[in-house]
């Protein structure tokens, strides 16, 4: 039977073959892109996730040819799950932004992307349609099929894949546990999709149980991470998205094939800081030799960092560095749970860096932060406790030691504990005394008012703050600060003793969390005077501040849901806010560019205009122009506005009225932008003009009379606008008006006319009004500015001009409205004429902040200036005769040989004078007067050499460059400080040193000018910084004198090629002056030191110069252009310095913890290492640690903030 079956099967096969031969071949299937209509396309887009649409037109010449190419990939796109269709519909194409044909649009979940590449290159088109980037949707994990997944894994280095059950298994109504788990995991993981994208990690999902079974994944859902196509399975909880992201980041780092530190962007860095607990960042510059050297060293510890769970990245982005207060690169910052800590040790010692990093992991201390870092922590809404302290204050140190004990407990509460030693930042928060503790939650600060030395009570208070869910109560200073620093603030003005306020407050507590979730800071304030400042008369009242602009809530405060809806609406939608007159006054003072619409809310036409102007609100915001509205007829009349609506533009308190059509919003926008960007003379009403004359010292008014465009009066005005900027610089306000009533009051009958109001006193211009240069000369002439018999009030700009241009000036500084000052002024008016006879200008100024600007101890104050050098009167200001005698004596007397300067003048001199010598001294210095007497004998000589010599008692400015002990002499060379380290009592050596510094400066400039020719001549000899060259020998930097970190780098000539490193700390045990640590001198003479007799810096006993004396200090190497560093005034006992005329530059510094010093803000001087490639003695390891201001062990150095001081850029993240 079996035989018969086999035979039958054979017959059947033969018959089939014969039939196949006879029948014709089946036609081959040609891939074709399906044609659709507009309605069909709509349905396809509704049903399919990924659709490619080819747009063509009948008139298109190349469309058919392109289509032919694209049809070659139609089957491939089908395989990858992308539907490919074509359509000929110009109207629909236009809706999707298609204007040229042919074109290709890729719809992902109905979101279109237009292909910008070559449509004739079908392979590129296929790559575009099937790439992970093209499929990426914001905050969505894209679904892929098996084919696409295979391609993505092949094309992408890092991709995370979430495997889920089939769609059939998990329908909408299916409640299987695995389906619920998959949905929940997907919901959580979509929160980190964008972060993964920023880190270069793709994220997709696939519903394919068969493929999961093939990979033996077990129960679904499962997350598989493909790293260079190698799969790693995540074993953790998928619903914890932060853990998943950290795992992906950690595994991405260990998956790198090369042992390199990953380069990241600013956006990626932000993501890493937010998601990685232990992160090290190298801020570097790829074009900087030092940076690349440091990078090479750090690559060696990258794997070690991985083993310790520390991720290491690098970033070459100057703006990102500045945002953290980092001014100099390379720099290393360690972030532990987002709290930054700057490394301050030797960046080229990778072992020391690794040791420091591991130490950070093991220690848990209060971190020192910069102002930029603190601003970022607060801006990010972190819960932060900040101790404002002074490193040199004993109480601060004691408090810090106590609070270190609760740092761990704060971590457990989720409170980041940091400290900051920065007076300016403390002042921003209204802190006058340190130490002070502030608690920030969602950016809102709260003061701790208890005893900071009782750490248990501090911890209890912090715990209460973090656990309580109340609307924070703040002070008026805090309110101003929050409004300034936070974009969205809701403020409830209330009365804590009022029942209505209490009731409303209890209701509003219910929406506090919702406000937090929407980044709206919610605070309350019980302060009647602050409420009145904003024109609030009814309590309680809610005001929402959007970027400093107030919006008053007019609804029912008892309905918290309606209030929440209003707050969210105000945040999301741009509307012109309604303000009170008090709010407007605040905005005029605080906002540089402000537009105010005066209108009547009951007038339909006004409302229509308002609606039109809403259309330009966004454009104005981009230009930095704030626009508000006011329904207040009385306030409008104060500005001389008779009809509503009217638009008034304010810039620097000066108003300008718009005369055009308010219904034409484009013209309004153009006019406002023109007002902001161009120098125009503002047009004002009589009422505004009266206010300006009343409030400002110098006002020029162009009374044009009735003036139409194109008339002569208009042409004159156009010419005068050429001098508006120059007048602004001198503090003179220039306005124009067509109103003539005020002109008549001052006796002006002919138009146009120009009148100059000086302290309200008018002076009519009699010259040629059409010659703007002549007008400018007249307005700024000293005789014009003076008012006979009166002490002129000047603003700060005018005062600067007067001090710059006049030899002898008396200035009375006072506070406006101070009764005592008014009495003093009435006495001083009696001596104004006598001063004028002696050609002494007498002015007064009451500008806000003038005491700080001019470094005055108190107000009122009287100062005499001779050539910008100031002397302050310390007698009774009510005795005008004694004051006159003092002024005349100073005028007639010979000035001090070395002039005394205040801080402002000294700062100006440092900026303006190329060669400046400053003698810093103090009142309680025993030797200062004696030394000063000696130095005054060389003042004329310094003048002959073009070096200006001044003296200063400003310890603050001295501390800024590292000077804490007096006396001290600093030479400023184009603003760079160089410290003199010789004997100040030997005035001849001081003079020689100063002259040599100036000569060095000339040589350096000459060397820079010929840098190219020198570089070619010395191409084989490279240094990392300034080149120090010699035709016969190399000049080396010899670091000596190191007591703690007291360090001087002195260049000396050596016959050998070694860089000798000597530790001054060891010299204390050494009886001799040689360079080793033994008790023997190394030279061959009979004395007890090894200094060679000729003092030439080399090891022989012969001088190296070409003169006939026995010294070689005359002949300075012309090629020497190296800048050295000198650390000074750190409280340690200095050794006798080796005498040299080489420059010592004040360098950024750190101190040992027991040393008490004043706070320093050093000027950064780049001092780069020489002959870095050559062998050298191993330097002593610098102190290391965690940026500690106060270390517990004396042998460890305290931590400084490398390159982080005096940063002005506040970056809001």
Q: What is residue 435's three-state secondary structure?
A: coil
Residue 678 CB partners (closer than 8 Å, separation 6+):
none
Whether the per-residue pLDDT at 776 is higher than 80: the answer is yes
Higher pLDDT, 170 or 401: 401
- At 148, the pLDDT band (50, 70, 90 cuts) reads confident
- Among residues 284, 273, 380, the alpha carbon closest in space to that of 334 is found at 273
Share of the chain above pLDDT 90, in %: 1
Q: What is the mean pLDDT of residues 600-613?
A: 87
Determine which helix (DSSP H) or strand (DSSP E) holds 633, and give its type and residue range. Answer: helix 633-638
Lowest mean pLDDT among 138-152, 441-455, 834-848: 138-152
If you average pLDDT over residues 137-164, what whole number do you get?
Answer: 78
151 HSE (CA, 13 A, CB side): 19
CA 658/CA 639 separation, integer angstroms:
13
Residue 695 clears pLDDT 60, i.e. is over it: yes
At residue 1025, the pLDDT reads 36
Q: What is the mean pLDDT of residues 671-686?
A: 80
CA distance 64 to 54: 11
**Residue 336 CA: distances (Å) to CA of 264, 340, 367, 1069:** 18, 7, 10, 41
Lowest mean pLDDT among 76-85, 472-481, 898-907, 1059-1068: 1059-1068
The residue with greater pLDDT, 783 or 64, is 64
Is the pLDDT assigned to residue 516 strictly greater than 50?
A: yes
The Cβ-side half-sphere exposure at 647, using a 13 Å CA radius, reads 24
How many other C-beta atoms can be found within 10 angstroms of the C-beta atom of residue 470? 12
pLDDT confidence of 172, banded at 50, 70, 90?
low
- The per-residue pLDDT for 93 is 85
Cα dist. 372→315, 345, 423, 427 in Å?
A: 18, 21, 14, 15
Considering only residues 373 and 1199, tell me which one the structure prediction assigns the higher pLDDT: 373
Residue 378: its pLDDT value, please?
A: 78
* Cβ neighbour number for residue 1186 with a 10 Å cutoff: 22
Q: What is the mean pLDDT of residues 68-97?
A: 83
Residue 19: the pLDDT is 41
Does 841 score more than 80 pLDDT? yes
Average pLDDT of the chain, as a whole number? 74
d(CA 753, CA 701): 8
Query: Quick one: pLDDT at residue 366?
Result: 78
Task: Give, in order, the Cα–Cα distances in Å from 81 to each of 47, 143, 148, 406.
Answer: 13, 10, 8, 58
Question: Pairing between strand 593-598 and 626-630?
Answer: parallel
Render pLDDT for 132-142 as a digit per residue (tens, 0 to 9): 565 555 556 77
- Could you read off the pLDDT of 1066-1097 as tens digits, one per residue? 333 344 444 444 444 444 444 444 444 444 44
Of 352-366, 822-836, 1002-1016, where does mean pLDDT reach its minimum?
Answer: 1002-1016
The sheet that has 682-683: what strands, in order across it?
682-683, 733-737, 698-703, 753-758, 761-764
CA distance linking residue 286 with residue 175, whole number of Å: 56
Is the CB of residue 344 less than 8 Å from the CB of residue 1150?
yes
pLDDT at 401: 86
User: Who has greater pLDDT, 1201 or 401?
Assistant: 401
Q: Are strands 444-447 and 968-973 parallel, antiparallel or unpaired?
A: unpaired
Q: How far is CA 890 from CA 665, 827, 840, in A?
A: 62, 20, 11
The pLDDT, as a whole number, for residue 1010 is 52
Pairing of strands 142-143, 202-207: parallel
Of the candidate ranges 23-27, 831-835, 931-935, 1190-1194, the one whose mean pLDDT is the lowest = 1190-1194
pLDDT band at residue 362 under the 50/70/90 scheme? low
Distance of CA 564 to the CA centre of its chain: 33
- For 1129-1140, the pLDDT digits (tens) are 433 333 344 444
pLDDT for 597:
92
Task: Measure the CA–CA gap between 565 and 556, rounded to whole angstroms.
Answer: 12
Highest averaged pLDDT of the listed ranges 833-837, 1083-1087, 1159-1163: 833-837
For residue 810, CA distances in Å to 127, 341, 852, 854 come to 78, 49, 18, 14
Q: Inform me whether the pLDDT recorded for 550 exceeds 70.
A: yes
- Give residues with Cβ within 8 angstroms of 1059, minimum separation 6: 1036, 1037, 1038, 1170, 1171, 1174, 1176, 1177
d(CA 30, CA 22): 24
Q: Where are the alpha helices (DSSP H) in 276-391?
A: 289-298, 302-307, 318-323, 350-362, 371-379
* Residue 299 DSSP symbol: G
* Digit-coded pLDDT (tens) for 1015-1074: 444 444 333 333 323 333 233 332 333 333 333 333 333 333 333 333 333 333 344 444
What is the structure's pLDDT at 596? Answer: 92
pLDDT band at 1175 (very low <50, low <70, confident <90, very high): very low
pLDDT mean over 553-567: 86
**Domain annotation for the chain: domains and CATH numbers:** 30-135 (3.40.30.10), 364-468 (3.40.30.10), 470-573 (3.40.30.10), 574-677 (3.40.30.10), 682-778 (3.40.30.10), 788-893 (3.40.30.10), 897-1000 (3.40.30.10)
Give residue 53's pLDDT. Answer: 92
Partner residues linked to 314 by β-bridges: 263, 282
Per-residue pLDDT tens for 946-958? 888 888 887 777 7
Would the pTM of this model clear 0.85, i.e. be above it? no
The arrangement of strands across the sheet holding 521-525 comes to 472-473, 521-525, 488-493, 541-546, 549-552
């Amino acid at each position: 039977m079996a035989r018969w079956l086999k035979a039958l099967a054979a017959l059947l096969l033969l018959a089939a073959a014969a039939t196949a031969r006879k029948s014709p071949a089946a036609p081959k299937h040609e891939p074709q892109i399906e044609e659709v209509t507009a309605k069909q396309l709509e349905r396809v887009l509704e049903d399919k996730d990924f659709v490619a649409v080819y747009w063509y037109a009948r008139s298109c010449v190349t469309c058919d040819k392109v289509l032919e190419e694209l049809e070659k990939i139609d089957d491939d796109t089908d395989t990858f799950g992308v539907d490919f269709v074509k359509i000929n519909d110009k109207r629909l194409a236009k809706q999707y932004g298609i204007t040229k044909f042919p074109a290709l649009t890729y719809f992902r979940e109905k979101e279109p992307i237009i292909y910008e590449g070559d449509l004739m290159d079908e392979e590129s088109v296929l790559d575009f349609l099937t790439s992970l980037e093209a499929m990426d949707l914001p905050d969505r994990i894209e679904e892929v099929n098996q084919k696409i997944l295979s391609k993505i894994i092949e094309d992408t280095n890092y991709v995370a894949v979430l495997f889920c059950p089939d769609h059939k298994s998990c329908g909408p109504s299916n409640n299987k546990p695995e389906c619920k788990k998959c949905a929940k995991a997907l919901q959580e993981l979509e929160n980190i999709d964008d972060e993964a994208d920023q880190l270069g990690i793709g994220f997709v999902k696939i519903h394919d149980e068969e493929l999961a079974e093939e990979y033996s994944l077990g129960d679904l859902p499962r997350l598989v991470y493909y790293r260079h196509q190698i799969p790693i399975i995540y074993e953790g909880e998928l619903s914890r998205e932060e853990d998943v992201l950290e795992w992906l980041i950690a595994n991405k780092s260990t998956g790198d094939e090369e042992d390199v530190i990953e380069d990241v962007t600013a956006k990626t860095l932000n993501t890493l800081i937010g998601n990685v607990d232990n992160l090290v960042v190298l801020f570097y510059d790829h074009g900087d030799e030092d940076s690349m050297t440091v990078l090479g060293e750090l690559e060696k510890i990258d794997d070690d960092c991985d083993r310790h769970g520390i991720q290491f990245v690098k970033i070459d982005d100057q703006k990102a560095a500045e945002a953290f207060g980092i001014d100099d690169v390379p720099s290393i910052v360690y972030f532990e749970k987002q709290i930054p800590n700057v490394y301050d040790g030797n960046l080229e010692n990778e072992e020391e860096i690794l040791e420091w990093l591991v130490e950070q992991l093991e220690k848990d201390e209060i971190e020192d932060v910069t102002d930029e870092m603190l601003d970022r922590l607060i801006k990010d809404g972190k819960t932060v406790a900040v101790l404002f302290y002074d490193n040199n204050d004993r109480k601060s140190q004691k408090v810090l030691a106590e609070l270190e004990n609760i740092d761990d407990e704060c971590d457990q509460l989720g409170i980041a504990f940091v400290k900051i030693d920065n007076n300016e930042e403390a002042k921003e928060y209204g802190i006058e005394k340190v130490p002070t503790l502030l608690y920030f939650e969602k950016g809102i600060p709260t003061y701790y008012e208890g005893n900071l030395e009782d750490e248990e009570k501090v911890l209890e208070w912090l715990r209460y703050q973090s656990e309580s869910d109340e609307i924070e109560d703040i002070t008026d200073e805090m309110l101003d600060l929050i409004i300034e620093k936070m974009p969205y603030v809701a403020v409830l003005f209330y009365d804590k003793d009022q029942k209505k306020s209490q009731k409303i407050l209890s209701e509003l507590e219910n929406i506090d969390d919702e406000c937090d979730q929407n980044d709206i800071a919610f605070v309350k304030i019980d302060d009647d005077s602050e409420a009145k400042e904003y024109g609030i008369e009814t309590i309680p009242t809610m005001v929402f501040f959007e970027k400093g602009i107030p919006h008053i809530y007019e609804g029912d405060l008892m309905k918290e849901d309606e209030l929440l809806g209003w707050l969210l609406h105000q945040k999301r939608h741009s509307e012109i806010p309604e303000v009170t007159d008090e709010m407007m006054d605040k905005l005029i003072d605080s906002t540089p560019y402000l537009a105010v619409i005066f209108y009547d809310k009951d007038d339909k036409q006004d409302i229509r205009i308002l609606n039109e102007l809403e259309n330009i609100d966004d454009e104005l915001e981009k230009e930095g122009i704030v626009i508000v509205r006011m329904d207040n007829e009385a306030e409008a009349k104060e500005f001389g506005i008779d009809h509503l609506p009217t638009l008034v533009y304010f810039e620097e308190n000066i108003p300008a009225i718009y005369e055009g059509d308010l219904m034409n919003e484009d013209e309004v926008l153009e006019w406002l932008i023109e007002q902001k960007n161009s120098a125009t003379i503002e047009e004002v009403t009589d009422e505004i003009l009266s206010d300006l004359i009343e409030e400002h010292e110098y006002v020029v008014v162009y009374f044009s009379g009735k003036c139409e465009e194109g008339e002569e009066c208009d042409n004159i005005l156009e010419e005068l606008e050429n001098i508006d900027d120059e007048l602004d610089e001198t503090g003179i306000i220039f306005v124009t008006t067509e109103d003539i009533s005020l002109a008549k009051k001052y006796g002006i009958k002919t138009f146009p006319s120009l009148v100059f109001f000086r302290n309200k006193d008018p002076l009519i211009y009699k010259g040629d009004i059409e010659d703007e240069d002549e007008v400018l000369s007249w307005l700024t002439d000293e005789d014009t500015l003076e008012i006979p018999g009166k002490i002129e009030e000047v603003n700060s700009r005018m005062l600067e001009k007067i001090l710059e241009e006049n030899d002898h000036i008396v200035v009375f500084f006072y506070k406006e409205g101070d009764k005592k000052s008014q009495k003093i002024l009435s006495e001083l008016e009696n001596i104004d004429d006598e001063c004028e006879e002696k050609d002494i200008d007498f002015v007064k100024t009451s500008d806000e902040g003038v005491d700080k600007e001019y470094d005055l101890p108190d107000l009122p104050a009287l100062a005499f200036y001779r050539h910008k050098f100031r002397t302050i009167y310390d007698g009774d200001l009510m005795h005008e005769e004694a004051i006159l005698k003092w002024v005349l004596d100073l005028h007639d007397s010979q000035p001090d040989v070395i002039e005394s300067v205040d801080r402002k003048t000294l700062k100006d001199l440092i900026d303006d004078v190329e060669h400046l010598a400053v003698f810093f001294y103090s009142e309680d210095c025993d030797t200062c007067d004696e030394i000063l007497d000696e130095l005054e004998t060389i003042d004329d000589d310094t003048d002959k050499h073009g070096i200006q010599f001044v003296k200063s008692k400003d310890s603050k400015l001295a501390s800024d460059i590292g000077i804490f002990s007096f006396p001290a002499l600093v030479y400023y060379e184009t603003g760079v400080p160089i410290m003199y380290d010789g004997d100040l009592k030997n005035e001849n050596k001081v003079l020689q040193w100063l002259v040599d510094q100036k000569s060095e400066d000339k040589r350096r400039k000459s060397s820079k000018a010929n840098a190219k020719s020198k570089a070619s001549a010395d191409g084989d000899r490279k240094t990392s910084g300034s080149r120090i060259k010699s035709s016969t020998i190399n000049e080396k930097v010899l670091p000596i004198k190191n007591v703690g970190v007291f360090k001087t780098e002195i260049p000396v000539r050596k016959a050998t090629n070694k860089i000798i490193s000597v530790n001054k700390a060891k010299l204390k045990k050494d009886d001799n002056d040689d360079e080793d640590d033994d008790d023997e001198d190394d030279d061959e003479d009979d004395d007890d030191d090894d200094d060679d007799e000729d003092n030439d810096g080399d090891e022989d006993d012969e001088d190296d110069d070409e003169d006939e004396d026995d010294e070689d200090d005359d002949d300075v190497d012309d090629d020497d252009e190296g800048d050295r560093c000198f650390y000074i005034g750190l409280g340690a006992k200095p050794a006798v310095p080796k005498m040299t005329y080489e420059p010592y530059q004040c360098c950024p510094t750190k101190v040992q913890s027991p040393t008490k010093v004043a706070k320093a803000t050093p000027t950064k001087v780049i001092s780069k290492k020489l002959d870095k490639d050559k062998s050298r003695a191993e330097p002593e390891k610098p102190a290391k640690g965690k940026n500690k201001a106060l270390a517990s062990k004396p042998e460890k150095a305290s931590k400084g903030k490398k390159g982080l001081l005096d940063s002005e850029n506040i970056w809001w993240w």
